[in-house]
Amino acid sequence: MPKAPAVPHLPFALDEAARPSLVQRLLAPWTVRPDAGFDGRFRFDYMGSSEFEGNAAFQALRAIRALGDVVVTATTVELDARPHTIYLVGPSSLLPRFEGGLQAWVDSGARALEPTFLPERLRAEDDHHDDVLAWWDLKNLVTFTLDPDVAEQLRDALTTTPKATS
C-alpha cells in the first residue's frame, strides 16, 4: 500500500492503513444551496459529537481542497457474495490507499466510531437509514456513495468554495 502523503492543515495524521474510523453519514440538506459550498449540498446525520472533535470536518475539507485534484472513482466490493459498486470521491493522491483497504473494511462490518449502516444499505435491508446519501471518512479525506450522481455532487461540494455574501 502506498505511503500516506503529507497533508496540509490536518491536525491528525492520516491512518497509515487507510482504515476508516471517523466516518460521518451524509444526508441531503434541508434546503439545497449549491453556491453555499459543502453544507449547501449535504448535512451531517447526527452521530454524537465525535465527528466534531478537533473540528475534524472543517480541517478535513481544508486539507482536501489544499491537496486538490478531487476525482470520482468507481470500485467494486463484495458483500454476501454479491458485487456492489461504490463511488469514491477525494484527492486522486489518496484514493488508491483507501480503495486498497475498502474490501477488508466492508468484510469486517464497516465498523467505525459510530455505525455507518453501509452493509445494511448494500443489502437494501435498512429502510430507517435510506436517507443516507453518502459517507465521509474524515481521517482519510475520502467520501463515498452508492450513487454516481451523488458522487458528482460530492466532487462539486468538496471543490466549490462558498461565495461571499455582501
Q: Write the pLDDT tens digit of every residue in 12-27.
A: 455 555 677 788 899 9
Nearest alpha-carbon partner for 144 in 60, 98, 88: 88
63 inside domain: yes
Mean pLDDT of 118-141: 85
166 inside domain: no
129 inside domain: yes
117 inside domain: yes
DSSP run (H or E) holding 135: strand 134-137
pLDDT in tens, 35-69: 777 878 898 887 765 555 667 888 889 999 999 99
DSSP run (H or E) holding 87: strand 82-91
Nearest alpha-carbon partner for 67 in 93, 33, 38: 93
User: What's the total number of domains in the chain?
Assistant: 1
54 inside domain: yes
Contacts with 96 (C-beta within 8 Å, 6 or more apart), sequence order? 2
Mean pLDDT of 59-85: 94
75 inside domain: yes
- Residue 32 structural domain: 23-159
**What is the rounded distance in angstroms from the CA atom of residue 27 to the CA atom of residue 7?**
27
135 inside domain: yes
**Do 122 and 109 meet the contact criterion of CB atoms below 8 Å apart?**
no
User: Using CB atoms within 10 A of its CB, is residue 143 exposed (0-12), middle (13-18) or buried (19+)?
Assistant: buried
pTM for this one?
0.85
Cell readout for 153 is 455532487
144 inside domain: yes
